């Protein structure tokens, strides 16, 4: 009952642990350059904060302007959309959706007003949760070496060297995977924004941001973002050339990401099979949503390396035991042979 009551705090703490472990390779890289750990943590944290602020500063004005224009003149926007897109008109007529869409548009301002208070509460709650995660992440990054030593000391003395190697391996794999995955998602968002802008698809910036976020989801994320972009393109223009060309772009980019970009960026991580990635991501998403799906993949990769190391150690121990048994048999056979010769000499 107590754990259920503090489940939100536990989730925040788990996310902070994952972020601290993900950023620890960068901190250790600075420490190896003779930067004291508190200063290294401050540099990494301020750099991440500056990147987030710069991203918000770059996209917020355009995003707010486009969202404001859409909210203030949504009926007019819908009428212009119907004029520009005969495809949308045919779909509405065939499915008989136009009266229901018009009724929904008329009632939308009232619904938005009643939901504004709830949205504000959820927004400030999300901001507070984000601040808690940030503070926990900083403290964990500062104390991570001591926490690692404390974790290793829980094991018997004869196992501490092996446990230390396992802990370092998990931290390295998680960190390299997360940093690489964020870089891949940033590349996907930038290229999607260029393509959407070149094809004059409305709301290019929010759609590109959506592509970057969904690209974090293993296996199916890029497809989800591409589908949303294609739906918006088809609804706001003709199928040819914008929608068809946009579909070809996502198809080509997905192949480039799968076979060129991702292998080069994630060259230091461990590959696992597609079915293992899918099952692991589904389990993680069921437990913690998007964050759980992201956390599950590097943990599964590290688990694979740990299991492979244990299996290799077992096989080596088995081979050594077989070698000792074979040597023992050779010694025993040699001794039996000498005893036989001695018996022959005595009888003669």
In three state form, how does the secondary structure of the chain look?
CHHHHCHHHHHHHHHHHHHHHHHHHHHHHHHHCCCCHHHHHHHHHHHHHHHHHHHHHHHHHHHHHHHHHHHHCHHHHHHHHHHHCHHHHHHHHHHCCHHHHHHHHHHHHHHHHHHHHHHHHHHHHHHHHHHHHHHHHHHHHHHHHHHHHHHHHCCCHHHHHHHHHHHHHHHHHHHHHHHHHHHHHHHHHHHHHHHHHHCCCCCHHHHHHHHHHHCCCCCCHHHHHHHHHHHHHHHHCCHHHHHHHHHHHHHHHHHHHHHHHHHHHCCCCCCCCHHHHHHHHHHHHHHHHHHHHHHHHHHHHHHHHHHHHHHHHHHHHHHHHHHHHHHHHHHHHHHHHHHHHHHHHHHC
Q: Is the pTM here over 0.75, yes or no?
A: no
Largest separation between any pair of C-alpha atoms in the chain: 120
**Residue whose structure tokens are 């799968």:** 258
pLDDT at 63 over 80: no
CA distances from 101 to 92, 104, 228, 310 (A): 9, 5, 19, 60
- pLDDT at residue 128 in the model: 82
**CB contact at 8 A, 300 and 276:** yes
Contacts for 184 with CB less than 8 Å, ≥ 6 apart? 215, 257, 261, 262, 265, 266
Residue 280: how many CB atoms within 10 A of its CB? Answer: 22
Q: What's the confidence (pLDDT) of residue 81?
A: 65
Side-chain half-sphere exposure of 137, counting CA atoms within 13 A:
25
Q: Collect all residues with Cβ–Cβ distance below 8 Å to 68 and sequence separation of at least 6.
A: none
Model confidence pLDDT, tens digit, residues 290-343: 677 777 777 777 777 777 777 877 888 888 888 888 777 776 666 555 555 455
pLDDT of residue 117: 57
The residue count of the chain comes to 348
Arithmetic mean of pLDDT over the chain: 77
**Chain segment 76-98, per-residue pLDDT in tens:** 666 666 666 666 667 767 776 66
Residue spans of the domains in the chain: they are 1-154, 157-316
How many other C-beta atoms lie within 10 A of the C-beta of residue 205? 19
**Do 269 and 298 touch, CB atoms closer than 8 A?**
yes
pLDDT the model gives residue 268: 59
Question: CB–CB of 215/221 below 8 Å?
Answer: yes
Least confident of 21-35, 110-124, 252-266, 288-302: 110-124
Average pLDDT over residues 172-189: 82
């Amino acid at each position: 009952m107590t754990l259920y009551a503090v489940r939100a705090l536990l989730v925040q703490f788990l996310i902070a642990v994952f972020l601290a472990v993900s950023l620890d390779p960068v901190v250790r890289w600075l420490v190896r350059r003779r930067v004291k750990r508190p200063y290294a943590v401050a540099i990494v944290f301020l750099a991440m904060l500056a990147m987030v602020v710069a991203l918000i500063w770059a996209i917020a004005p355009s995003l707010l302007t486009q969202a404001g224009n859409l909210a203030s003149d949504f009926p007019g926007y819908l009428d212009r959309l119907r004029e520009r897109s005969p495809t949308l008109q045919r779909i509405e007529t065939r499915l008989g959706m136009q009266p229901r869409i018009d009724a929904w548009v008329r009632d939308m301002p009232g619904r938005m007003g009643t939901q504004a208070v709830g949205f504000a509460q959820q927004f400030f709650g999300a901001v507070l949760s984000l601040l808690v995660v940030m503070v926990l992440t900083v403290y964990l990054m500062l104390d991570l070496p001591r926490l690692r030593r404390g974790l290793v000391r829980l094991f018997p003395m004869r196992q501490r060297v092996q446990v230390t190697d396992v802990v370092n391996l998990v931290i390295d794999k998680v960190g390299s995977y997360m940093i690489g995955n964020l870089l891949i998602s940033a590349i996907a968002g930038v290229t999607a924004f260029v393509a959407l802008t070149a094809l004059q698809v409305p709301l290019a910036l929010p759609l590109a941001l959506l592509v970057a976020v969904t690209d974090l989801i293993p296996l199916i994320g890029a497809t989800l973002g591409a589908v949303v972009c294609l739906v918006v393109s088809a609804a706001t223009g003709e199928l040819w050339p914008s929608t068809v060309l946009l579909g070809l772009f996502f198809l080509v980019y997905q192949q480039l990401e799968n076979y060129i970009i991702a292998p080069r960026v994630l060259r230091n991580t461990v590959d696992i099979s597609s079915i293992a990635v899918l099952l692991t991501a589904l389990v993680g998403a069921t437990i913690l949503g998007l964050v759980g799906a992201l956390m599950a993949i590097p943990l599964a990769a590290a688990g694979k390396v740990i299991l492979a190391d244990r299996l290799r150690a077992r096989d080596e121990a088995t081979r050594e035991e077989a070698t000792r048994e074979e040597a023992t048999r050779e010694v025993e056979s040699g001794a039996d042979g000498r005893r036989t010769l001695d018996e022959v000499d005595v009888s003669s």
